[in-house]
Amino acid sequence: MHWSKTKLSKSKLSHSNRPQMSHAGQGFSTSTIAVDECGNSREIELVGERALTLYVDKQEIVTLMTMGTHPELLTLGYLKNQGFFEDIDEIKVVQVDWETEAVAVVTHHEKSDFSKQMEQRTVTTGCGQGTVFGRLMDKLKNITVPQLLINQSTIYAVLDALKLHNAVYKKAGAVHGCALCTASEIDFFVEDVGRHNAVDAIAGHMWLNKVQGHDKIFYTTGRLTSEMVIKIAQMGIPIILSRSGATQMGLEMAKISGVTMISRAKGKHFLVLNGVENIQFDSEYVALAAATSKG
């Protein structure tokens, strides 16, 4: 396999043992001509989607379909969430080469063997088919996220703040968005063709920058499946908020790990499926909702 000479640069942060990474993020969309229901031609935006095959120490791991805006963070987050590595210091280089549609991860290990992680592969319901390696569901039983209280007004403030961040969806659709939030502040927002790609990119951001999840809220536009909840629990995030629904196994995983699960969150509406004791309802909103339902 040939690798182009993509320039690598060390992070400006002070961690001397952080991996060297390429910066190969791609534009999110292309233009095409479509004909509408009235027979009129007009230019529209289409979301870009590219294959990215992940190699670790020259071993092929998986091929991901991605929009390509944060390929290095996606790679790191995928490896972390799937249980391949625990410590960022194990990774030496992350180099993306779009000419070969591949990313090469070089570790500090003399010899790497990932047969144990890959011997059990469960295909999940993630967009484009997500994967769960290495009995992560069993691992989840040993994870309990910290408790975090959240006001009803904070939920609404997060939803309102997110309106400024879904630029790709507004222009082209066909993407999912995920956000890492501290209270109502949006710390990091990612859009990609699959929600599991977006959550992995955020996990990579947290892992690389040593961001702890104990005081964070995670937002996703996608449904709350078991894979999503497992990843959030691994990231140590106590609250997950989605504008979509949840699966039965997703709820089960939330109950096991203690993740507060809030679904169907849009406008002034939401449904708490797990962790209602962590929601501080505001009397003014409760009274308004009651009056609206009676009317």
Q: Which residues of 193-209 are buried (b: 16+ CB within 10 A; e: fewer)?
A: bbbbbbbbbbbbbbbbe
pLDDT of residue 82: 84
pLDDT of residue 219: 96
pLDDT of residue 30: 67
**Entry pTM:** 0.76
Please report how the helices 283-294 and 152-161 are oriented relative to each other, as an axis angle in degrees rounded to 10: 80
pLDDT of residue 129: 43
pLDDT of residue 24: 94
CA distance 60 to 71: 16
pLDDT of residue 123: 43
pLDDT < 70 stretches in the chain = 1-16, 28-30, 34, 36-37, 44, 46-47, 49, 116-139, 166-174, 285-295
CA distance 82 to 117: 8
Query: What domains does the chain contain, in order, with CATH numbers?
Result: 20-134 (3.10.20.10), 150-294 (3.40.140.10)
Cα-based angle 35, 39, 42 (whole degrees, multiple of 5): 40
Torsion of CA 211, 216, 220, 223, to 10 degrees: 110
Torsion of CA 103, 108, 111, 117, to 10 degrees: -60
pLDDT of residue 225: 81
pLDDT of residue 269: 86
